[in-house]
Amino acid sequence: MKLRTLLLALACVCVALVQAASPLSLIPLPASVQQGSGQFTFPAKVQLCVPSYTGDSVKAVVKRWAGNFTKSTGIKVSVGKKANAAIQLRLNSGLAPEAYDLQVTRERIVIEAARPAGFFYALQTLNQLLPSRAVMAGVKATDVQAWTLPVVTIKDHPRFEWRGFMLDEGRHFYGKEEIKKLLDVMAAYKLNRFHWHLTEDQGWRIEIKKYPLLTEVGAWRNSKVLGWGEVKPDGQRYGGYYTQKDAREIVRYAQERFIEIVPEVDIPGHSQAAVAAYPEFLSCDPQNQHEVWLWQGVSPDVINVSHPQAVQFAKDVIDELTAIFPFRYIHLGGDECPTNKWEANEACRQQLASIGSKNFRDLQINFYRQLQDHIAQKPASEQRQLIFWNEVLHGNTRPLGTDITIMAWVGADGAAKDAAQRGMKTILSPQIPYYINRRQSNLPTEPRSQGHGTETVEAVYNYVPMAGIPADLQQQYMGVQANFWTEWVEEASVVQYLMFPRLAAVAEAGWTPQQLRKYPDFLERLQAEAKYYELRGVDYGKHVFR
Ligand code: ACM
């Protein structure tokens, strides 16, 4: 008996030592974490105090969290105004909009924030501190004896205001439920911008009521796989699109998770699907056949920017996007736009002469200027900021004004610095290593995709945003974004496999102070996420998990 007691005591000491040694599995790592000793244990019914002065939107955040928590744990949460409640929310207007303080003692949990987003992020952190990933995943827990939280004091705020992820649904259409899953995981990692790449040469994915053929024709092509090299189009009728009702449902879902959606219509390049729908005014050669593209790469079949109806089309699309997406930004693409068709078109040549230029790239800029003027005339509630890929910085003689945001992808560090020096805002989404559709290893388990396996979890993690940028330019840098291009990826599960866990690495670059970011420590904290992915039903790259 005595030996048993001794062994038990020894085992307890060992467990305590292991617990003290292992970091809390928090991703992204908060700005400051001070672990104490002991734990808070949830009673079967817990009181949560939300003072009325915190406002209805904080109450809505809390109620959604409480419903989810009860569903997973079976613990009832009664939301009220009891000053001695075990969970206390307090307004602290001294904190930044997304910042929060979370203090867990043996007796209570105190959360302070200035804005609903801060309370929301505090609750995401709280979920990660629980003994099971079931609450994060929104499923019933089956593996927990006691619901506890470690005693800890966390003071947290993001490094960057823009923490984004882009999904290309132009090449492949995945549908609402996949987007909701993605938004859930983004929110768990405190990512706050979903850049929705909705149009491509290979498919137009958003209903525009004034131009029904965009989706009746432009959302469908005669092959699921996209041809490239040895891979040939398969002849299968394939596609899909979001109705405006679907898109509004996604908007609400994102808003509940403090994610802004940035819709992108990539014009005038990457637009063959639109050209196929309305060749009579969008194409440079309407006498020829135009179909939704079946191939990878960059199609030369761009929008005829000199056609007045093409300009009107773009304005009308912006108007409908503005009505669907009540957020600050619209992305108009601007990357990889060949000028060959303009060069061969008499009306384009005349327009170029009329603006006094000999550089066909200036036609693209001239097109955007007309769209900028259109937006500028709208009422304040319909104003939108425009984002472009970094190609619009170069190759033209009529640069756009500084009131645009540059998303830097090719030669990203240099392009972002150039944009910042010109007084523009910029976002870092470097192709290498933040295009997380590229192979993440050379293991035989890796699905087909682009790249050479060098965009590993570690390489993605170790990218240092804004390295060497002088302090006076840093304010132009809004943040970071991972991008997922889908030319090679037909199935949503493969998108997930390639995306996770690398999206977690990018999320940490967006949130955590650079001096705290260490890959071995991240890898340690990452281990708990395998369970989260499994419970949430998303696939992931398994090779970095033990
Ligand atoms: C891009 O990768 N073409 C923005």
Predicted confidence at residue 11, as pLDDT, reads: 47
Q: Model confidence over 386-400: pLDDT tens digits?
A: 999 999 999 999 999
The span from the CA of 51 to the CA of 447, in Å, is 50
Q: pTM value?
A: 0.96
Cα 261 to ligand 1 centroid, rounded to whole Å: 18
> Is the model's pLDDT at 209 over the cut of 60?
yes
* Mean pLDDT within 81-92: 95
Closest C-alpha among 87, 153, 97, 103 to residue 120? 97
Predicted confidence at residue 52, as pLDDT, reads: 87
Q: Which two tokens stand for residue 129?
A: 């501190």
* Mean pLDDT within 510-518: 98
Cα 389 to ligand 1 centroid, rounded to whole Å: 7
> Is the model's pLDDT at 197 over the cut of 90?
yes
Atom of ligand 1 nearest to the CA of 435: 2
Atom of ligand 1 nearest to the CA of 270: 3
Q: Are 467 and 413 in contact (CB under 8 A)?
A: yes
β-strand partners of 480 = 163, 428
Nearest CA to ligand 1 atom 1: 335
> Is the model's pLDDT at 12 over the cut of 50?
no
Nearest CA to ligand 1 atom 3: 335
Task: Give 18's DSSP letter.
Answer: H
Of 336, 388, 434, 436, best ligand 1 pocket probe by most atoms within 8 Å of the beta carbon: 336
Over pLDDT 90: what percentage of the chain? 94
> Is the model's pLDDT at 374 over the cut of 50?
yes
Cα 19 to ligand 1 centroid, rounded to whole Å: 45
| Residue 2 banded pLDDT, cuts 50, 70, 90 | low
The span from the CA of 424 to the CA of 446, in Å, is 39
Atom of ligand 1 nearest to the CA of 333: 4
Q: E strands within 270-348?
A: 329-331
Cα 531 to ligand 1 centroid, rounded to whole Å: 33
Whether the ω angle into residue 501 lies within 30 degrees of 0, i.e. cis, is: yes
> Higher model confidence: residue 525 or residue 55?
525
The amino acid occupying position 390 is N
- What value does the mean pLDDT of the chain take? 96
In this structure, of 80-84, 358-362, 412-416, 491-495, the range with the lowest mean pLDDT score is: 80-84
> Is the model's pLDDT at 21 over the cut of 70?
no
Nearest CA to ligand 1 atom 2: 409
> Is the model's pLDDT at 401 over the cut of 90?
yes
Predicted confidence at residue 20, as pLDDT, reads: 44
Q: Are 303 and 230 in contact (CB under 8 A)?
A: no
Predicted confidence at residue 23, as pLDDT, reads: 80
Please provide the size of the chain in residues: 546
Over pLDDT 70: what percentage of the chain? 96
* Mean pLDDT within 430-436: 98
> Is the model's pLDDT at 361 over the cut of 60?
yes
> Is the model's pLDDT at 520 over the cut of 90?
yes
* Mean pLDDT within 184-201: 99
Of 437, 485, 486, 488, best ligand 1 pocket probe by most atoms within 8 Å of the beta carbon: 485
The span from the CA of 424 to the CA of 499, in Å, is 29
Atom of ligand 1 nearest to the CA of 431: 2
Q: Are 211 and 205 in contact (CB under 8 A)?
A: no
> Is the model's pLDDT at 319 over the cut of 80?
yes
Predicted confidence at residue 5, as pLDDT, reads: 52
Predicted confidence at residue 258, as pLDDT, reads: 98
Predicted confidence at residue 14, as pLDDT, reads: 42
Q: Model confidence over 231-263: pLDDT tens digits?
A: 999 999 999 999 999 999 999 999 999 999 999
Atom of ligand 1 nearest to the CA of 407: 4
The span from the CA of 537 to the CA of 339, in Å, is 44
Q: At what angle do helices 176-188 and 502-511 cross, to 10 degrees?
A: 50
For the sheet with 100-104, list strands across it.
Answer: 32-41, 148-156, 100-104, 109-113, 87-91, 45-49, 76-80
Helix (H, G, I), strand (E, B) or coil at 538: coil
Q: Model confidence over 127-138: pLDDT tens digits?
A: 999 999 999 999
Q: Model confidence over 305-314: pLDDT tens digits?
A: 999 999 999 9
Q: Are 193 and 162 in contact (CB under 8 A)?
A: yes
Cα 466 to ligand 1 centroid, rounded to whole Å: 20
* Mean pLDDT within 5-34: 66
Cα 264 to ligand 1 centroid, rounded to whole Å: 12
The span from the CA of 189 to the CA of 27, in Å, is 6
Cα 412 to ligand 1 centroid, rounded to whole Å: 11
Predicted confidence at residue 16, as pLDDT, reads: 44
Predicted confidence at residue 402, as pLDDT, reads: 95
* Mean pLDDT within 88-92: 97
The span from the CA of 277 to the CA of 319, in Å, is 19
Residues with CB under 6 A from ligand 1: 335-336, 389, 409
Cα 335 to ligand 1 centroid, rounded to whole Å: 6
Cα 336 to ligand 1 centroid, rounded to whole Å: 7
Predicted confidence at residue 22, as pLDDT, reads: 59
Backbone angles phi, psi at 467, to 5 degrees: -60, 130
Q: Model confidence over 476-499: pLDDT tens digits?
A: 999 999 999 999 999 999 999 999
